[in-house]
Amino acid sequence: MAKHWAEPVTSVLRADGQRVVDLDPSTTPGFTGDKQLGKKLLVERGLVLSDLQERLFANGRTGDRRSVLLVLQGMDTAGKGGIVRHVIGSVDPQGVDHASFGVPTEEEKQHDFLWRIRKRLPVPGQIGVFDRSHYEDVLVVRVHNLVPPSEWEKRYGLINTFEREVADAGTTIIKVAMFVSLDEQKRRLRERLERPDKHWKFNPTDITERAHWPEYQKAYQVLLDRTNTDYAPWYVLPADSKWYARLAVTELLIDALTGLDLDWPKADFDVAEQLRRLDES
Q: How far is CA 104 from CA 111, 136, 177, 203, 257, in A?
A: 10, 10, 21, 17, 32
User: What is the C-alpha separation between 247 and 168, in angstroms, rounded?
Assistant: 28
User: What is the C-alpha separation between 253 and 53, in angstroms, rounded?
Assistant: 9
User: What is the C-alpha separation between 18 and 150, in angstroms, rounded?
Assistant: 26
Compute the least distance from the CB of residue 164 to ligand ADP, in Å: 21
Compute the least distance from the CB of residue 90 to ligand ADP, in Å: 21
Compute the least distance from the CB of residue 80 to ligand ADP, in Å: 6
CB 247 within 8 A of CB 45: yes
Compute the least distance from the CB of residue 132 to ligand ADP, in Å: 5
Compute the least distance from the CB of residue 128 to ligand ADP, in Å: 17
**Dihedral, CA atoms, 250, 252, 254, 256, nearest 10 degrees?**
-150
By beta-carbon proximity to ligand ADP, the closer residue of 51 and 112 is 112
Classify strands 171-179 and 234-238 as parallel, antiparallel or unpaired: parallel
By beta-carbon proximity to ligand ADP, the closer residue of 97 and 136 is 136
By beta-carbon proximity to ligand ADP, the closer residue of 137 and 163 is 137
By beta-carbon proximity to ligand ADP, the closer residue of 110 and 281 is 110
By beta-carbon proximity to ligand ADP, the closer residue of 29 and 104 is 104
The residue type found at 71 is V
- Which residues contribute to the site for ligand ADP (CB under 6 A)? 76, 101-104, 132, 136-137, 140-141, 146, 203
CB 14 within 8 A of CB 233: yes
